[in-house]
Structure 1
Amino acid sequence: MKSLRTASNHWLQQVKKTVISHRGQQVVNQGLRWHLDYPSLECPPWLNQNGWVVQGWVLLPPSLSKSMEDVRVIACWNSVFELCHPLSLERPDVIETVLGEDPAKHPQLRCGFRFTVPRQLTTCTLELCVNGERIPLPIVSMPELPDSDGAEVAPLKVLEGKANWLFLDNDTNGSVDQYRGRLLLTDEGVKGWQRYLKDFRTLAEKHGADSAVLVAPAKESVMGPRYHPYAEGAGGPIQQLLALPEAQVLVYPVQALMALGDDAFIQTDTHWTQRGAMAASKVLAAALGLDEWAVENTFVDDEYGERSLTGDLGSKLKPERTCRINSLRTFNYHQYRCFDNGLPNFGRLIVLANGKALMPGTCLIFGSSSSYSMFNYVSRLFKRVVFVHSAGNLDPEVVKAVQPEFLVAQTNARFVVQVPRASCSLQALIAEKKACLSEEEIMMVAKRRIDVETHNPIISSLGLSPWIVT
């Protein structure tokens, strides 16, 4: 924000004392006025596909009218992150009714705000931010809806950009707001990441493992400047994370992906392409100390062929949208799976063993969905790869049992608003997942599961027998 040098500390202190009502009681003695249109007990509930609409306006004293662009309305319902929205709507009705002035070219014409918060919320807090000073407003309560009313149809969570590129919309991590620089980590969120990164480094050093935390860049960060319908903001949670002193352990391969152009991400999916996964694997390998020439040479003869893919975004449209992708056709990691419990997402445990890999050691990865497309590459870099689907959450007991030469935590940039834990239980994740499987998921698990005996030589040498459950 630009500095509001014309605002005295005395004025800010007085404003804090006079902003007293979320129902619009106008504060005139210090020149600040504000009103919340929605949600309100006086108006019908406004709930759209994206959630509850929060709308209102703010007027500054005339002497500060040129500083309207510096005002932020902050909404918070989570201790780790918060939404920070500028005054972006023109409100001629406010200028005419409240100020009794001509709205044409009025310096405070753009005094309105409108955004949404998740529909599951019952309350959230609002604050005004002026010159770095935060002015608390009363808690906002969402109205109750009769059973017959309620939300519109469930959101598709797909945003169509230029040239048919699809992006995630209205997800629980606020991907669009992150990209636009309107969702930021709170001080608590930043401190949580600092603790996690310190604990990760300590755990790796305890077991003598070369280590890195790989953060898969969001599709928006790489493809957004060319294809996203919204302009990219000045910063977001990933920029806050990269600015930390503890960020030395982070691997964020955004430049390597940008160098691939349109081959970095899938047009109808949130994930990177296989070439994108290869680029990320190379950057990760370099961070882990592998010889860059040897790594490059490992993949030099790879061949790719075109195929059609619907993707996790294209499948949400009616009719479904497909695109053409380049798929690796000269190598498939599936032949090296020696164990796979087949569980969907969290709790999945996979062991890959390739005696012809570049490095003789074991790489233990606590990863997310972006790790799967890396298997074709990391399985050729490390003799053994142990993968735990935990989105970066660490199980020290698994690390102790495996004793890996290389330790990797992998998460996605859009997940940065969810600080991972440095101590979780894989056994608990497995038990929780198995307890809530649907019949369809049970059939899927049975199809892709690869079982071994608990005394299997590879499993025994990795110390994984306690997690090999049927």
Structure 2
Amino acid sequence: MTDDFTSTSRADKSKKYLLGKDGWIFLDHDSNRVIDQITGRHILDQKGVEAWRKLIVERDAYVSSLGAQHLVFVAPNKELVYSEQLPEWVEIADIRPLHQIMAAIGPRRASKIVYPLEAIRAGKSTGLTYPKTDTHWSGFGAYIGYQEFCKGLSQNGIEPLQIDPSRVSFEEVSYVGDLGVKFEPPVSAPTLSARIASAAGKLSFDNRIPNRGRIRVFTNKDTTLPRCVMFGDSFGGNLLPFLKESFSTLVYIYGKSFDRELIEAYKPDVVLSEFVERFLIDPPVDTPHFSYASVVRSKLKLLSRDDLLEATKQTMQVSHDVLPVRPIYEALVLAHGGKPVSAELVGDLKKHHPDNPEAHYLISTELSRLGERLDDAKVYAERSVAAEPWNARARHQLALTLMRLEQPDQAEEQLRKALELDSSVDWWNYQLAQVLFRQQKHAECIEITRDYLARRADSADAWQLLGRCHEALENIEEAAEAFVRASDAKPEWTWPLLKLANLRVHTKTNPEQGLIATDRLLETLFHARQRAEIYMLRSQLHEVNGDRSKATEAATRGTELAPDWDWAVSTLERLSVQKVAAS
């Protein structure tokens, strides 16, 4: 260790670590305040204790209703396993969040929580259970945790097939870890990596989502073994090499909240809630219809190109037995890739995911896109919002459907709520302005559009909308300026120039600006009828300008291009009569 390590004190909060004795490194200044937790300065308040009690009771009851066993597994903090390596001033408290939770649920239920602290402490005499440079346990520490988990299963009436110790070996390797990487240059220390001979469990599906929302499914050659659905964190991930040998199907979801649809799809014998001890300070929240599909949708964009291709391939090819919730994830990767969801897949979503808010969202999106069953699209969007009223994306989809159903007042309400929930999606503000325009709330539309343009001055659509609002309020020059800005932002777009030319015709103001606009239009429009319309605009603008000769010339050109256009012919006749009368 260098002098820099030695001089680091806890007062320096920029250092996310605490130096112990003999080169040991511990986590510090983290969001969970692990050092404050183990010293009793940061524990659960009464609300937090009650939240945990209620969560465990409700999970027990729910899992029991499925005919399965619910186990809670708490991976001990490294600071407690190697407490003798902490600085002398760190005194371990007798009451920590885990003790508070155990007291709240009562001794009988508390005795069923698998907390392998003492077993892992005892294992230190055999080998490193945690490396010096990482917060996570080593392969050896995870193996002890696995053995204690198997004991917990036995106590609950399920006899797992434990890995024969002769198949497990450990190799000492150098490891930087999540603490060693905090130094410059990074530091490493030995750890024990586990190896399992003749492994029977294999990885059959991996959606590759980083951290929360990752789903991995392991299948075992021995189909007589029990089935397990596990919710956990990175400590749980270190248990997977062992657990996959003890279950016919092991489903690992990186996340704390229950996904009931997923649990029920696998019909497990065991549902495992795994937490690292320092995370107990933040009780998870379960809701009946929560789905990790919503998490996956939001994180697909984080995948590398190769990971996305592999995740898509696996999702499209995996069997229903391995991934019984496949329809929702297949629809997600299709939607992420900008591909339509087939009618057959929409049917599968309805059949296999009747209560899934993300499925309802996808169904609504597809029906709304087709524009053929907007009433049904509205129903599914409303279901998605009802299940997850905090989901801004669901409210936005409902708003879009209401817009297409010509219900702008309700669309406005949903868009405003969506923006309250998530103000980061800036173009929703533009859509709100569109809804206000449809309701002829032009002043509000102008205010929101101006704010939007302050951030997105390159938005031709927004400038065009601003121009239309000003035009409706007869703010002629403001409208003209907005149409000019729209054209400048998107020179190939002819619509703003047409609006500008028509504005100058109808208001009989500044015809020269209108003529300049038509000059630009004639440079880009080549269809005969389109050019005829531009020449007739020029004829009207020349009339406003008092130049009847040029007006007649332009009208003549218009009738030549569109001889069957009655209005152009009658306009030319009128101008010709006026010319004769004037002469």
Q: After TM superposition, give the deviation of residue 300 of structure 1 in Å.
A: 2.9
Q: Match for 2:294: what amino acid?
A: A
Partner of 1:186: 45
Are positions 1:417 and 2:276 aligned together?
no
Partner of 2:63: 204
CA distance in 2, matches of 1:279, 1:190: 28
CA distance in 2, matches of 1:448, 1:309: 28
Pick closer, same or farther for the CA change 1:447–1:218 going to 2, 3 Å: farther
Q: After TM superposition, give the deviation of residue 317 of structure 1 in Å.
A: 0.8
CA distance in 1, matches of 2:199, 2:305: 22
Q: Pick from 187, 199, 214 the counterpart of residue 73 of structure 2.
A: 214
Q: After TM superposition, give the deviation of residue 255 of structure 1 in Å.
A: 1.2
Are positions 1:360 and 2:225 aligned together?
yes
TM-score with structure 1 setting the length: 0.61
CA distance in 2, matches of 1:335, 1:318: 39
Pick closer, same or farther for the CA change 1:191–1:333 going to 2, 3 Å: farther
Partner of 2:214: 348
Are positions 1:387 and 2:252 aligned together?
yes
TM-score with structure 2 setting the length: 0.50
Q: After TM superposition, give the deviation of residue 295 of structure 1 in Å.
A: 4.8
Greater mean deviation of Cα atoms: 230-239 or 216-225: 230-239
Are positions 1:466 and 2:328 aligned together?
yes
| Number of positions where the alignment pairs a residue of Structure 1 with one of Structure 2 | 315
Partner of 1:404: 268
Pick closer, same or farther for the CA change 1:236–1:242 going to 2, 3 Å: same
CA distance in 2, matches of 1:191, 1:403: 29
Deviations 1:43-93 (A, max 9, x none): xxxxxx99xxxxxxxxxxxxxxxxxxxxxxxxxxxxxxxxxxxxxxxxxxx
CA distance in 1, matches of 2:226, 2:159: 18
Are positions 1:238 and 2:104 aligned together?
no
Q: Is the 8 A contact 2:98 2:277 kept in 1?
A: yes
CA distance in 2, matches of 1:336, 1:225: 39
Greater mean deviation of Cα atoms: 288-297 or 268-277: 288-297
Q: Is the 8 A contact 1:331 1:376 kept in 2?
A: no
CA distance in 1, matches of 2:252, 2:49: 27
Are positions 1:299 and 2:158 aligned together?
no
Q: After TM superposition, give the deviation of residue 234 of structure 1 in Å.
A: 3.0
Deviations 1:297-345 (A, max 9, x none): 5333312222111000000111211011121234497971111011110
Q: Is the 8 A contact 1:269 1:310 kept in 2?
A: yes
Partner of 2:576: none
Secondary structure, counterpart of 1:363 in structure 2: strand
Pick closer, same or farther for the CA change 1:273–1:444 going to 2, 3 Å: farther
Are positions 1:283 and 2:143 aligned together?
no
Q: Pick from 105, 117, 135 the counterpart of residue 254 of structure 1.
A: 117
Partner of 1:375: 240
Listed as ranges, the gaps of 5+ residues in structure 2 are: 1-7, 334-583
Q: Pick from 257, 260, 264 the counterpart of residue 129 of structure 2.
A: 264
Partner of 1:101: none
CA distance in 2, matches of 1:294, 1:200: 22
* Deviating 4+ runs (over 4 angstroms): 290-297, 331-335, 446-450, 462-465
Pick closer, same or farther for the CA change 1:205–1:458 going to 2, 3 Å: same
CA distance in 1, matches of 2:20, 2:172: 23
The Cα RMSD (Å) is: 2.9
Deviations 1:108-161 (A, max 9, x none): xxxxxxx99xxxxxxxxxxxxxxxxxxxxxxxxxxxxxxxxxxx9x72311111
Secondary structure, counterpart of 2:130 in structure 1: coil
Partner of 2:36: 177
Deviations 1:158-200 (A, max 9, x none): 1111111111010000111001111111000000001100111
Q: Is the 8 A contact 2:139 2:192 kept in 1?
A: yes
Q: Match for 1:218: what amino acid?
A: N
Q: After TM superposition, give the deviation of residue 376 of structure 1 in Å.
A: 0.9
Q: Match for 1:309: what amino acid?
A: Y
Partner of 1:158: 17
Q: Is the 8 A contact 2:73 2:273 kept in 1?
A: yes
Q: Is the 8 A contact 1:184 1:236 kept in 2?
A: yes
Partner of 2:296: 430
Q: Pick from 325, 330, 340 the counterpart of residue 191 of structure 2.
A: 325
Q: Match for 1:190: what amino acid?
A: V
Pick closer, same or farther for the CA change 1:316–1:411 going to 2, 3 Å: same
CA distance in 1, matches of 2:111, 2:93: 24
Deviations 1:366-400 (A, max 9, x none): 1111011111100101011001110x311111112
Q: Match for 1:466: what amino acid?
A: I
Q: Match for 2:23: what amino acid?
A: N
Aligned residue runs from structure 1 range 41-56, under 5 A:
none
Q: Match for 2:101: what amino acid?
A: L
More helix by share: 2
CA distance in 2, matches of 1:301, 1:334: 11
Q: Is the 8 A contact 2:230 2:252 kept in 1?
A: yes
CA distance in 1, matches of 2:87, 2:74: 21
